[in-house]
A and B are shown apart, each in its own frame.
Chain A
Amino acid sequence: MTAGQLPRWVDLGLIPFLNLAAAFLVSGLVVLLIGENPLNAVYYLLLGSVGSVEGFGYTLFYATNFIFTGLAVAVAFHAGLFNIGGEGQAYIGGLGVAFACLALDQYVPWYVTLPFAVVGSAIMGAAWALIPGWLQAARGSHVVITTIMFNFIAAALMGYLLNSVMKKPGSMQLETRTFEDGGRLPFLNDIFPSAGFGFAPVNLSLFIALIACGLVWLLIWRTKLGFEIRSFGANATAAVYAGISPVRITVITMLISGGLAGMMAINEIMGSQHRLLTDFVTGYGFVGIAVALMGRAHPVGIILAAILFGMLYQGGAELSFEMPSITRDMIIVIQGLVILFAGALEYMFRPALIRMFAPSRPVSA
């Protein structure tokens, strides 16, 4: 045991719990500030997100997005890279889905389109992460900054494409035509009609997300590539000593990360909107950072964190309906607080906990 280390359950259980509790406590204070009862707010939040099967269906729909963007950030974390370009990669990933759907939807059933959409979204997302990844690896320009820049470049590019090249003729909206059935994934309500998902847009993508979680787990902890990614992330010099090429690992990791972010578009575009439109990512990429942080970059943690954020999204809609003074922006505030306490202030409670737990432990040099 090294100096000052805490018991495992404190590190993995108590600290995240305290961080989350602090975030929600401050959120409660914000609710109080605008003159509402925080407990009522929690009630409506839970009612909306898990109070009905349909509500839970919405929760799962949002969680699907967060799983993809959370995995994207987490994979990059393992290589010591901070990909905050999930936003742009998911946006461009939408192009891949749209190409597949627009090309095939009138001719083949959805299950033929799906593999093309999955590969398309992953390739487009990966392509958008390729340049930042390569620049970091080969030219040393920091991936945080370049991915931010690429988010804005993606927004401009998509704005242009949807305004001119891909726009539905005669429409005022910046969007493509609506896909036919061959470009639409089945909703869970269609697969399990008796479950009661109602109008919830949760769809087959949820299972793709869960499969992605399993594959990421295998990749990181069971494959040679994962070993190399973790080695590089933990100690880049040792990785070079071990014959692991920094350029190769940085680029491959960013491709995987970007690909995962891009796949978020399957859920939104092929699963729910059935057309490519502007601004369908709206913060999911950034929230992926919070999801990955809270989930400790582990797929199981990411699933749990994604469901939590899904609940906030869905419950927040219900909340703003029942308590109009609490607009949906409250959810952005809560997300901000979770990122702050679980991420940036991660170590805030540590010194106190070390004082509480360390003296009782046997001293060994």
Chain B
Amino acid sequence: MFEMYFQELILTLDSTLRLATPLLLACLAGLYSERSGIVDIGLEGKMLGAAFGAGAVAYVTGNAFLGLAGGIVVSVGLALLHGFASITNRGNQIVSGVAINFLAAGLTVLLGQYWFSQGGRTPSLPQGGRFLDITFPFAEEIRDIPYLGPVYSDLLSGHNLLVYVAFLAVPLTWWVLYRTRFGLHLRAVGENPAAVDTAGISVTWLRYRAVIACGFFCGLAGSALSIALASGFIKDMTAGKGFIALAALIFAKWKPVNAMLACLLFGFLDAFALRQQGKELPLIGEVPSQFFQALPYILTVILLAGFIGKAIPPKAAGVPYLKERT
């Protein structure tokens, strides 16, 4: 009986890692942007654009890495558009994010249909166009060791490259944020851009670098969807993941390690819902799958309400920087 539960747990956690990967990458993307004071509700659009770009390039070239590059280029392009609107033109960051979500939703299908004529999908990827699962050394050999074997062979081993990249990006982001000059500037500009400006640092260039970093990670996130977890782009394949990532970012209080934990939690909810669909839970009975879909949002709202800790965004988030006339 216990063996069975353990097996189930490993499988659920394994699926959690996969499902959390695009969330985590998008969440870290949002972290770079929002820490610099640029609110980004266009994570969804950038991910979608990247998923399409990656799917299209990977199909045409048959090379997953070129596909990844394509996804990143598209996403960074959209990020620069967001930067142009919100940094250079001091436009409303929410409105800009909404516009980018619309553009991505429309253009991916329009261009997809024009290029591939498959109703907005990209064709199924050829061999080499996809990031395949990586098997760790000795995974087969030690699988039978109780507990440790399944953890190593089934849980840790056997994911695609981008899963490992996503989890390595967490300590990397932490290090950038707290141990480098760029990180110090980034944290400062999101709190008090005037302090950064008077210290002789360009607020504009700093924020542009932040949105480019955001575009880069959204590019990874979108590519993970279309050329790692799936084999090609499907219309609206992000299905709200960009917004869950945004929720996770708030849940994580804009901190990298927390971001990982939040994404793992939301990924776990998703995996759990998928595996338990139609099954009765002990004591509770059948829980509608929609409940699990809504749970990340409900949890985030409860957090925002200040009932479990307080999520305080960077002070200058969402406010265009204007040198004030004194």
Contacts and interface: CB of A to CB of B under 8 A. Distances in A.
Interface of A: 30, 34-35, 82, 84, 131, 135, 139-142, 144-146, 148-150, 152-153, 155-157, 159-160, 163-164, 286, 289, 293, 325-327, 329-337, 339-340, 343-348
B220 interface: no
B165 interface: no
B305 A344 contact: no
Given A156-B290, A160-B288, A345-B89, 16 more contacts: A34-B114, A145-B246, A149-B301, A160-B291, A325-B113, A325-B114, A326-B110, A327-B110, A327-B113, A329-B105, A331-B106, A333-B106, A333-B107, A334-B106, A335-B102, A340-B96
B91 interface: yes
Contact of A343 (B99, B105, B113, B297): B99
B278 interface: no
Given A145-B250, A343-B95, A347-B91, A333 B305 contact: no
A83 to B, nearest CB: 11
Given A139-B305, A344-B89, A347-B89, A339 B106 contact: no
A108 B85 CA distance: 53
Interface string B272-296: 0000000000000000101101100
Select the residue from A30, A336, A343 with max chain B CB neighbours within 10 A. A336
B73 interface: no
Contacts of B313: 142
The 3 closest A-B pairs by CB, nearest first: A336-B102, A332-B106, A344-B96
B72 interface: no
Given A152-B240, A336-B99, A157 B290 contact: yes
Contact of B95 (A141, A142, A149, A293): A293
A153 B304 CA distance: 15
B100 interface: yes
Nearest to B108: A329
B157 interface: no
B94 interface: yes
30 contacts: A35-B114, A84-B98, A135-B301, A139-B304, A139-B306, A141-B301, A145-B250, A149-B243, A149-B247, A149-B297, A149-B304, A157-B290, A157-B294, A160-B290, A163-B290, A286-B101, A293-B95, A326-B110, A330-B110, A332-B102, A336-B99, A336-B101, A336-B103, A340-B85, A340-B103, A343-B95, A344-B96, A344-B99, A345-B91, A346-B89
A156 B89 contact: no
Interface of B: 41, 81, 84-86, 89-96, 98-107, 109-111, 113-114, 120, 240, 243, 246-247, 250, 288, 290-291, 293-294, 297-298, 300-301, 304-306, 311, 313
Contacts of B304: 135, 139, 141-142, 145-146, 149
B272 to A, nearest CB: 15
Contacts of A325: 113-114
Contacts of B114: 34-35, 325
Contacts of B294: 152-153, 156-157
A333 B103 contact: yes
Given A149-B297, A153-B297, A333-B103, A286 B291 contact: no
Nearest to A34: B114
A344 B297 contact: no
Contacts of A286: 98, 101-102
Contact of A156 (B94, B106, B291): B291
A339 B95 contact: yes
Contacts of A150: 297, 301
B110 A30 contact: yes
Contact of B103 (A35, A144, A337): A337
A360 B250 CA distance: 49
Q: Is the interface of A mostly helix, strand, loop or mixed?
A: helix
B93 to A, nearest CB: 8
A38 B107 CA distance: 16
Contacts of A159: 290, 293
B110 A149 contact: no
Contact of A329 (B81, B95, B120): B120
Contacts of B96: 340, 343-344
A149 B243 CA distance: 8
A339 B98 contact: yes
B278 to A, nearest CB: 13
Contacts of A135: 301, 304-305
Contact of B243 (A152, A164, A326, A334): A152
B293 to A, nearest CB: 5
A293 B96 CA distance: 12
Contacts of A84: 41, 94, 98
Nearest to B96: A344
Contacts of A131: 301
Given A157-B290, A329-B105, A146 B110 contact: no
Contacts of A337: 99, 103
A157 B100 CA distance: 27
Given A153-B294, A340-B96, A343-B95, A329 B301 contact: no
Contacts of B95: 289, 293, 339, 343-344
A141 B120 CA distance: 38
Contacts of B305: 135, 139, 141
Contacts of A293: 95
A163 B95 CA distance: 33
A206 B111 CA distance: 35
A322 B98 CA distance: 29
A131 B200 CA distance: 44
A344 B39 CA distance: 13
A160 B273 CA distance: 14
A340 to B, nearest CB: 4
Nearest to A35: B114
A131 B302 CA distance: 11
